[in-house]
Amino acid sequence: MKNALITGINGQDGSYLAELLLSKGYTVYGILRRKSVVDYGNVAHIKDKIKFIYADMTDVVSLINAMRISQADEVYNLAAQSFVATSWEQPIATTEIDAVGVTNMLEAIRLINPKCRFYQASTSEMFGKVQAIPQDENTPFYPRSPYGVSKLYGYWITKNYRESFGLYTCNGILFNHEGERRGKEFVTRKITDTVARIKLGCQDCLELGNLNAKRDWGHSKDYVRAMYLMLQQDEPDDYVVATGETRTVRDFAKIAFEKVGMNVEFSGEGVDEIGTDTATGKVVVKVNPDFFRPAEVELLIGNPKKAEEKLGWKREISFDQMVERMVSTDLALVSREIKLAGSL
Ligand code: NAP
Ligand code: F7E
């Protein structure tokens, strides 16, 4: 029976990974940050099955303590300030958590149990201004945000501890992955939540930034399986996890509206572009420059060949199924919110 320690357990990926490891018989420990109100986030439904430890990525003592308590055989480092836009507002905090925090966790492992296997949540944001299409494990990096730069440090220190100390450390270079548990500030969930609100008559319009940005979007539930597989191999290595498909933010919005029976046609250009509901003539999508970023990652598309061949990883949830799941979940959540507001 193995022990796993998950940092960022109450986030999107942490919750799906906890479910996966529990189903495989692991004892699952999870790191939570102390907050004024206890918040189990995405693991509230399984909180009784998880052993929580209060710790913070910026506090190495707390991570050493977490390693002592958990006696972890595997650590999955998913904790991060993960919202790219915020990384320009909080560059130092992002660096301390997403870059230095990785060294803190690696040092805690080295001190308490150097045999422990380590997964680092690296990201396609490291490719940034892409140097090749599609991107794979050999594509040079060119990050475009404090988030991307911090994650690049995390990537290299993970590789460095493998080469310097012989630790079993892996980088999963994961492309965007979404789902029903995604934070509402990320574009996909912002779209599916707002589409549900427009459909149910409690919002008029969806305001977005760069509609032309292209992303390779998969479902988080599929991607956490790749994390687990990386730590089960004979040798540690780094892997790209992606779908090999790319779509614009505009495409995502159009498809999400289709899921609630609305046909939206886009017209105009730049900040004047709008999306119109062809049935009513109402403008349901507008561009708001407040959502533009100081530097943009325009195009991401990954090549998952190595993960497919070496790990036997395959995604099971298609893009269409993912949007369907997100929209139907948000329709149910918003309906419940409306009913609750009506009964107060
Ligand atoms: P998420 O939902 O934002 O979850 C992030 C988690 O990190 C939360 O549990 C958060 O806890 C925790 N955290 C933040 N700062 C912390 C700190 N100082 N100490 C301890 N915990 C802290 O992110 P996600 O989408 O699940 O992503 C998981 C990881 O994969 C992240 O490292 C992200 O950067 C990376 N990644 C994500 C994607 C993607 O598309 N989802 C792609 C590539 C890589 P609180 O609840 O306390 O804030
Ligand atoms: O933006 C554009 C925005 O915030 C996607 C994180 O999980 O994946 C995620 O980072 C694109 C960008 O995700 C809005 O400019 C347009 O081009 O959903 P996002 P992200 O920045 O790709 C990577 C792999 C990670 O590692 C990160 O942790 O959509 N966009 N209009 C918008 N984005 C947002 N958020 N809101 C808008 O209104």
Q: Which residue ranges have their beta carbon within 6 Å of ligand 2?
A: 82, 84-85, 123-125, 175-176, 185-188, 190, 208-210, 213, 215, 249, 291, 293, 296-297
pLDDT confidence tier of residue 344, bands split at 50, 70 and 90? confident
Q: How confident is the model at residue 279 (pLDDT cuts 50, 70, 90)?
A: very high
Confidence of residue 326 (pLDDT cuts 50, 70, 90): very high
Q: What is the mean pLDDT of the chain?
A: 98
Residues 6+ apart with CB under 8 A from 317: 218, 219, 221, 222, 325
Section 190-211 average pLDDT: 98
CB of 7 closer than 6 A to ligand 1? yes
| Per annotation, catalytic residue among 147, 161, 168, 223 | 147
Query: Looking at residue 288, what is its pLDDT?
Result: 98
280-287 average pLDDT score:
98
Distance CA 257, CA 276 (A): 11
Query: Could you tell me the CA-to-CA distances from 323 to 20, 154, 189, 235, 306 in Å, in that order?
Result: 22, 31, 9, 36, 26
pLDDT at residue 61, rounded to an integer: 98
pLDDT at 343: 84
Please report the pLDDT score of residue 135 as a whole number.
Answer: 99
Give the pairing of strands 74-77 and 117-123. parallel
Residue 246 has a pLDDT of 98
Question: Over 80: is that where the pLDDT of 133 sits?
Answer: yes
pTM across the whole model:
0.98
Is the minimum distance from the CB of 79 to ligand 1 under 6 angstroms?
yes
Q: Which bound ligand lies closest to the C-alpha atom of 241?
A: 1
Protein residue whose Cα sits closest to atom 29 of ligand 2:
187
* Binding site membership of 174 for ligand 1 (Cβ less than 6 Å): yes
Mean pLDDT of 221-243: 99
161: annotated active-site residue: no
Atom of ligand 2 nearest to the CA of 207: 38
| Active site annotation includes 147 | yes
